[in-house]
Amino acid sequence: MTKATVATCSLAGCFGCHMSLLDIDEKLLDLLQLVEFDRSPINDIKHISRPVDVGLVEGGVCNAENVHVLQEFRRMCKVLVAVGECANTGGVPSMRNGVSLKRCLEQSFIRGLGIEGAQIPDDPELPLLLNRVRPLHHIVKVDYFLPGCPPSADAFWRFLTELLAGRDPALPRELIRFD
């Protein structure tokens, strides 16, 4: 049997969703019978090398680099999945959306506690921040949404096995959680 190919990434997220995926424990071995990982922080491959079957994207979109990565995923993944609250709703990072970017940066880098040599970082290597943090579906078409902060290991397992078996991966009520 040829294995399904999977790519994963974390945008404006905390890697909690990836940790939760790893939390399926010994079932990881079963998962590896079904899938092969392409680009992912788990193997440190930096770009998707060929079109893949499933893309799992954690985190919302907070800067220009996030937009590029998300667009690469949409281009290269047959099925794109928004994983976790940040990818689904913007999540905790989007709590800055009610505050102007200027005030956010000043609070963090100028006025914040214990800052020496205060200045707002402006190295050209740094990706530009967007004025608002956005969930994935504001920017690209998303095929499935896996809620939770993070989605539980059980939710991951259920979702992935149903999807890979070609069935509707809708979660049963007890696995739908927003916290």
Partner 1 sequence: MPTFYLDDSEIPFTDGETILEAAMSAGRYIPHLCWRPELEPHSSCRLCTVTINGRPFSSCTQPALKGQKVECDTPALLAMRRAVIQMLFVEGNHHCPCCEKSGACKLQATAYLLGMQDSHFHHRFPVRMRDLSHEGVSLDRDRCIRCEICVRASRALDGKNVFAIHGRGIESNLAVNSPSGLLKGSAISPDDAAVRLCPTGALIAKGRGFESPIGLRAYDREPLSSIELREYQARRAVHD
3-state helix, strand, coil in the chain (%, to 5): 40, 20, 40
CA–CA dist 137, 140 (Å, integer): 5
Residues within window 137-176 making contact with partner 1, judged by CB under 8 A? 137-138, 142, 144-147, 149, 170-171, 173, 176
Count of residues in contact with partner 1, rule CB under 8 A: 29
Give min distance, CB of 45 to partner 1, in A.
28
Please, are residues 144 and 169 in contact by the beta-carbon 8 Å criterion? Answer: yes
Taking the alpha carbons at both ends of the chain, their separation in whole angstroms is 37
Give min distance, CB of 125 to partner 1, in A.
29
Q: Tell which one of 4, 92, 105, 164 touches partner 1 (CB under 8 A).
A: 92
CA–CA dist 110, 121 (Å, integer): 10
The smaller minimum CB distance to partner 1, of residues 76 and 147, is found at 147
Verify binding: residue 179, partner 1, rule CB under 8 A.
yes
Binding characters for partner 1, 30-69, by CB under 8 A (x = yes): ----------------------------------------
The smaller minimum CB distance to partner 1, of residues 5 and 89, is found at 89
Give min distance, CB of 174 to partner 1, in A.
8
The smaller minimum CB distance to partner 1, of residues 48 and 82, is found at 82
Verify binding: residue 132, partner 1, rule CB under 8 A.
yes
Is the peptide bond prior to 93 cis by the omega test (within 30 degrees of 0)? no
For residues 58-96, one letter each, b for 16 or more C-beta atoms within 10 angstroms of the residue's C-beta and e for the rest, the string is bbbbbbeebbebbebbbebbebbbbbbbbbbbbbebbeb
Classify 7 as helix, strand or coil: strand
| Cα-based angle 55, 74, 88 (whole degrees, multiple of 5) | 70
Query: What is the contact surface with partner 1 in residues (CB under 8 A)?
Result: 82, 85, 88-92, 94-95, 97-98, 132, 134-135, 137-138, 142, 144-147, 149, 170-171, 173, 176-179
